[in-house]
Amino acid sequence: MADMTPEITFDDFMKVDIRKGTVLRAEPFPEARKPAIKLWVDFGPEIGERKSSAQITQHYAPEDLVGKSVLGVVNFPPRQIGPMRSEVLILGLYDADGNVGLITPDKDTPDGARLC
């Protein structure tokens, strides 16, 4: 089967602003259509705190997320998800069962550090 992934240029990739943040607060999001958790993430002094909704309930409980490092796309326009306005896309990967695990840096980096 041929690879159907469209090619992009390096300049296209650089338009996606992916930053490291730290989860400040996490709460259940029962109003979401699919099970989700509301997150408030600190992306450092340049970007500040942003809200998001993440469908990560199979692997995480809200109380276990506070202080966790995450990666997020910070330059997408805000998106309304039920009663919440999501301001950042938190990144994860699907496991073999189709559940999402978060992508986290393996070294200590400051909030707001940009993926390069």
- Domain annotation for the chain: domains and CATH numbers: 14-102 (2.40.50.140)
Q: How confident is the model at residue 52 (pLDDT cuts 50, 70, 90)?
A: very high
Model confidence, pTM: 0.92
Yes or no: say if 78 and 87 are a contact pair by the CB < 8 Å rule. Answer: yes
Q: What gap in Å lies between CA 39 and CA 51, rounded to an integer?
A: 6
Relative to beta strand 37-42, strand 49-54 is antiparallel
Structure confidence by residue, pLDDT tens digits, 60-97 = 999 999 999 999 999 999 999 999 999 999 999 999 99
| pLDDT score, position 4 | 79
| pLDDT score, position 5 | 85
